[in-house]
Structure 1
Amino acid sequence: MRAIKKYGWLVYRKEDINRNQRFIKLLLHAAEKREIKLSLVHLEELTWKISGNESPFTRGGEQSPDFLINRSVSPWLNELAEFSGIRSFNTSFAARLANDKRLTHAFLQKKGIRMADTAAVSPEALSPDNHPDFPFVIKDPYGRGGAGVYFIHNECDLLHCLSQINYSELLVQPLSGNPGKDLRVYIVGNEIQGAVLRETTSSSELRANLSTGGTSRSYVLNEAEKKQIHAIASSIKLDFAGIDFLFDKDGTLLFNEMEDAVGCRSLYMNSSVDIADVFLEYVQKVVS
């Protein structure tokens, strides 16, 4: 007897679809190859009926999905899916941690993971008379893709930053020992799939993201680095995510952040790994 085809939703915000078209096509193709019905769903077009007895996960009379791939950076949606008995990728626990840098650092610090000294503060807690030693970094705890990162070298930078930011919660950290360079490690099903070293090409830009003009190349992890990465992944149980590291002065890794809806352009540029195909193979095993 032929197995029943599984049905899933691939959820994106409208504003993110155009710049992710190539990866969306790769995910849809990988699903089709495995006879998984995967529908691209715009987050903003949905109404979630969360009262009553019917499932909130319906669209135009369609059946509820068997699973949800949430790339919309909205962890509450992962939680709502799990309340309804629907498997979400990532799990709600992983999505909630990954999308709030404060929670990620607090959780992994208790697991003994090395990281820069990190504090969560409000903008009102920072002033010319009250701040960490220069230089330091201010981050939006919900920022992604290098957005919401400010490098504070002096009092003038601090005052300018505080006058520009429009959010009420901040993360502050010292500069790493090797600013302008970071490492992204791609995880599927708790297993390392590849690693990319990213470096800035500008003396005035310390973010190494491709979107800010950085370069990237493949990186071979040593055994100590693999052990550190596995400790992070296994403590959270990651379906599909990117883990970003900074480098300390001695070249060892310092945890920086996680991305739940991780961008994969640099991995495709620097390796033969088809991460979309690897991920859908993992999804198929989980939902079968």
Structure 2
Amino acid sequence: MTSLSGWLVYRKTDIIRNQSFIDMLKKSAISKNITLEVVPYEHIYFGVSSHEPAFPFRDAPDFIINRSVSPWLNEVAELRGIRCFNRAYVSRVANDKRLAHAVLSNMDIPMLQSTAVHRNQFVSSSMVFHSPFILKDPLGRGGTGIELIDPSKDIKNIAATLPEELLHQPVGGQKGKDLRIYIIGNKIVGAVLRESATDFRANLSAGGNSSFYELGEKEVTTIKKITNAMQMDFVGLDFLIAEDGSLLFNEMEDAVGCRSLYMNSSINIAELFIDYIGKEMSL
């Protein structure tokens, strides 16, 4: 294989806590004759006019793994012919919960009733709620920006603490439980059941536990409806679990965390991802 150069882009604050996964990716890259360099997002500047090189501060890489949650970088890099993992469209969809729900709803994927709304409209509207509900920052990640709201409290009193853009959802699914499915090259790599006895969120970062999960036939069928409609390089698909055991779409993760998978299985997802990149770049 011809030697390839790639950038692994993270925000500075995320590099240290993701160092183990970074090391796994770099080790796998070496075995495939791929030079993979960690480039902090904050160090990047991009020539957006036609007479400038893409990256004025250095030579452009053959490909970019962008885990900085900045879809614009995927978009402008693709305009210059640089392959990005994930592709720009998937990165844009995955990093905005409003867009992800709209896109997957169009595929008839089951989900909670979800409404995108501006904070001002939400606070000033005449909507009356008799049961607790969820408000999400549509650009939040890792379990952040998610609030369980008590309807007995005056929404106007908490308005200042809410993000400007909101995704409203009813409380649904089995409390403190969700399922994350890992996808590489539109193929299911594995699934992890995440559970919390103390929080309505099941994220490991929120104190949850995890275990490897064998998907059933109906669950695989649901996932394939998504993979048949979108070309995903490396994503996590998160689902709530309804009371009847069926799946309800919750989130799509672009820079998906993998700790729960390699804690609970022998799957080397970093190696699988690098193998996939090598094959894609040789096409």
- Any conservation in 1 of the 2:196–2:202 contact (CA below 8 Å)? yes
Aligned with 1:255 (options 235, 240, 249) = 249
Q: Say which SS state the counterpart of residue 116 (structure 2) adopts.
A: strand
What residue number does 1:174 align with?
A: 170
> 1:160 Cα deviation (Å)?
5.2
Change (3 A) 1:160 1:33: farther
Which residue does 2:29 correspond to in 1? 31
Give the letter aligned to residue 143 of structure 1.
Answer: G
Question: Residue 243 and residue 156 in structure 1: after superposition, are their counterparts in 2 closer, same or farther (change >3 A)?
Answer: same
Pick from 185, 194, 209 the counterpart of residue 203 of structure 2.
209
Residue 197 to residue 148, structure 1, CA distance change in 2 (3 Å): same
Output aligned runs, 1:137-216, within 5 Å: 137-156=134-153, 158-159=155-156, 161-165=158-162, 167-202=163-198, 205-216=199-210
Q: What is the match of residue 238 of structure 1?
A: 232
Structure 1 range deviating more: 187-196 or 41-50: 41-50
- How far apart, in 2, do the equivalents of 1:157 and 1:26 lie? 48
The one-character-per-residue Cα deviations of 1:157-188 (angstroms, maximum 9, x if unpaired) are 745542312x2110001111312110000000
Measure, in 2, the Cα distance between the counterparts of 1:159 and 1:134.
Answer: 17
1:129, distance to aligned residue in structure 2 (A): 4.5
Deviations 1:240-259 (Å, cap 9, x if unpaired)? 01000001121100000100
Q: What residue in structure 2 maps to residue 110 of structure 1?
A: 106
Could you list the runs of 5+ residues in structure 1 that have no partner in the other structure? none
TM-score w.r.t. length of structure 1: 0.93
Q: Does the Cα contact within 8 Å between 1:135 and 1:151 map onto a contact in 2?
A: yes
2:133/2:151 contact within 8 Å kept: no
Residues 31 and 37, structure 1, Cα contact 8 Å, conserved in 2: yes
Aligned pairs, number = 281
1:150–1:161 Cα contact (<8 Å) kept: no
Tell me if 1:85 matches 2:64: no
- Take 1:285 and 1:132, find their aligned partners in 2: how far apart are those partners? 51
Cα distance in 1 for partners of 2:204, 2:258 equals 11
Aligned partners of 2:73 and 2:102: how far apart in 1? Answer: 23
Tell me if structure 1 keeps the 8 A contact 2:195–2:209. yes
Please point out which of 133, 137, 141 is paired with 1:136. 133
Identical-residue share of aligned pairs (%)? 50
Measure how far apart 1:58 and its partner are. 5.0
Range that drifts further, 251-260 or 228-237: 228-237
Is 1:271 the counterpart of 2:271 in the alignment?
no
2:67 maps to amino acid: R
- Secondary structure of 1:177's partner? coil
Contact 2:8 / 2:65 at 8 angstroms: preserved in 1? yes
Moved more, 243-252 or 226-235: 226-235
What's the CA shift for 1:154?
Answer: 2.3
Q: Residue type matched to 1:100 in 2?
A: D
Q: Distance in 2 between matches of 1:161 and 1:231?
A: 39
Q: Name the SS for the 1:229 alignment partner.
A: helix
Letter in 2 for 1:103: L
Tell me the amino acid that sits aligned with residue 85 of structure 1: G
Question: Of residues 107, 116, 122 in structure 2, which corresponds to 1:120?
Answer: 116
What's the counterpart of residue 97 of structure 1? 93
Q: Structure 1 CA distance, aligned partners of 2:272 and 2:57?
A: 28
Q: Does 1:50 align with 2:32?
A: no
TM-score, L = length of structure 2: 0.95
Structure 1 residues 222, 109: CA separation in 2 closer, same or farther (over 3 Å shift)? same
How far the C-alpha of 1:130 sits from its partner, in A, is 2.2
Residue 5 of structure 1 aligns with which residue? 3
2:258 maps to a residue whose letter is: C
Once the two structures are superposed, residues 97-129 of structure 1 have per-residue CA deviations (whole angstroms, 9 ceiling, x without a partner) of: 000011111111111111110000111223495
Kindly indicate whether the alpha-carbon contact (under 8 Å) linking 1:199 and 1:214 is maintained by their aligned counterparts in 2. Answer: yes
Q: Report the aligned-residue RMSD.
A: 1.5
